[in-house]
Structure 1
């Protein structure tokens, strides 16, 4: 079987694609920010592509006969962030952006660096995994650099509150359907940051502290971000 190997050539290429895309986005941010550009069309097409990849993934699982309630529901943090990203890109509403910028980007970045997958390139599930996770990160930075969003400390608090509202529901659901959504019952199979945070259930408490700390650091880095004057 073509099994995924952490930091294999295929994995390193996927990581490189992420950082190349971020570099390109940063370089063209002023061009995209111009009001006469057709950015709305681009945003909606990108949102549709993310949604199409997610739907296609579930169709593939169904066709392969491996879709299940315990493993296939879109209830992982990145799945929720994906739908929020699609809504944000399609509507332009920034109400969900705090969640995407902190929780979504943080979760997606960890997923890209330490993927919880077993298949390797060119399997469609490998391509879909990296496409949607890179897409979440690009959406977060697109709104930051092109739409001139600036995160606040209040954004950090709001994101932590939302996460702690979601966690209990997911935890109970995991028990009912024998799932492991948001990795609240056991750690990812390929290793992750959770491996350094203690055994179950203490790693969940540790994760709260680590997540808050990372969110604060991200806020400190980007809170004073100033985009150059727009060129008309």
Structure 2
């Protein structure tokens, strides 16, 4: 237990892709989303619904605070890296804000970015195994922010349209091209993995020059976001029946 909060991973217990420490978080996403959908009416009409919603958001805040403190304790905290310019962190922060404010306009934009949580679980950029704090923070924080958007969609019954999708698509494109890419190249950062791929699917675009790498990354992200609109299209049709 004394090594649980250690910054470095345990070489004898590292993360294994599609091992048990990978399958369990994936199952947690499936089961959690099912339960949120199945009990959506009960939650919506629960007299303490606001407490439930606030509780989820506060838990997400505590996870983020614990991570920042963990980095500080090990002398690894960096102001630039703590900025919410990675897509997952940005989407998580926006999700927390929406859970408190019920701001549907922000939800319209941020919802289509929420799939980043699932993608990050599918292709986790960590080596820490289940005997380290970082493993639990990474998995829980990504799963939780995905839960938040499912809660907003199903329990609060927030509506999304093709116009919402276009807003989200354009906003992310402008953010990536107008802000993230210049910051990455000026300050040698790697927000949204638009400078180098790390352990992400963006590795398929490596070795063809930076311009093609960026085009490939943005293109793949936009394709994924477009595919993420399809369930909304069919869900809207289901609600009309």
Q: TM-score, normalization: structure 2?
A: 0.84
* Counterparts of 2:221 and 2:47, CA distance in 1: 36
Q: Give the 5 Å matches for 1:8-47.
A: 8-34=19-45, 36-47=46-57
- Residue 124 of structure 1 pairs with residue 158 of structure 2: no
* Counterparts of 1:185 and 1:211, CA distance in 2: 14
Q: Give the 5 Å matches for 1:40-79.
A: 40-69=50-79, 71-79=81-89
Displacement of 1:76 in angstroms is: 0.6
Q: TM-score, normalization: structure 1?
A: 0.87
Instruction: Look up the match of 1:163.
Output: 172
Among residues 171, 175, 178, which one is paired with 2:188 in the alignment? 178
Distance 1:210-1:184 versus aligned 2 partners, 3 A rule: closer
* Counterparts of 1:66 and 1:6, CA distance in 2: 26
Displacement of 1:98 in angstroms is: 2.1
Instruction: Look up the match of 2:117.
Output: 108
* Counterparts of 2:232 and 2:130, CA distance in 1: 34
Q: Deviations over 1:63-104 (max 9, x none)?
A: 01112245443321010111100000011111211233211x
Is there any run of 5+ residues in structure 1 with no aligned partner, and where?
none
Instruction: Look up the match of 2:148.
Output: 139
Q: Deviations over 1:152-182 (max 9, x none)?
A: 1111211122112322322222233322111
User: Could you tell me whether the CA contact under 8 Å between 1:187 and 1:194 is conserved in 2?
Assistant: yes
User: Could you tell me whether the CA contact under 8 Å between 2:194 and 2:217 is conserved in 1?
Assistant: no
User: Could you tell me whether the CA contact under 8 Å between 1:25 and 1:142 is conserved in 2?
Assistant: yes
Q: Secondary structure at the match of 2:103?
A: coil
* Greater Cα offset, 40-49 or 216-225: 216-225
Is there any run of 5+ residues in structure 2 with no aligned partner, and where?
1-9
Instruction: Look up the match of 2:233.
Output: 223
* Greater Cα offset, 88-97 or 170-179: 170-179
Q: Secondary structure at the match of 1:127?
A: helix
- Residue 195 of structure 1 pairs with residue 195 of structure 2: no
Alignment coverage as a number of residue pairs: 225
* Counterparts of 2:75 and 2:147, CA distance in 1: 32
Distance 1:16-1:224 versus aligned 2 partners, 3 A rule: closer
* Counterparts of 2:223 and 2:192, CA distance in 1: 19
Q: Secondary structure at the match of 1:186?
A: coil
Which aligned runs of 4 or more in structure 1 are off by greater than 6 angstroms? none
Q: Secondary structure at the match of 1:223?
A: helix
Displacement of 1:220 in angstroms is: 2.8
Q: CA RMSD in A?
A: 2.2
* Counterparts of 2:240 and 2:153, CA distance in 1: 12
User: Could you tell me whether the CA contact under 8 Å between 1:100 and 1:136 is conserved in 2?
Assistant: no
* Counterparts of 1:70 and 1:95, CA distance in 2: 28
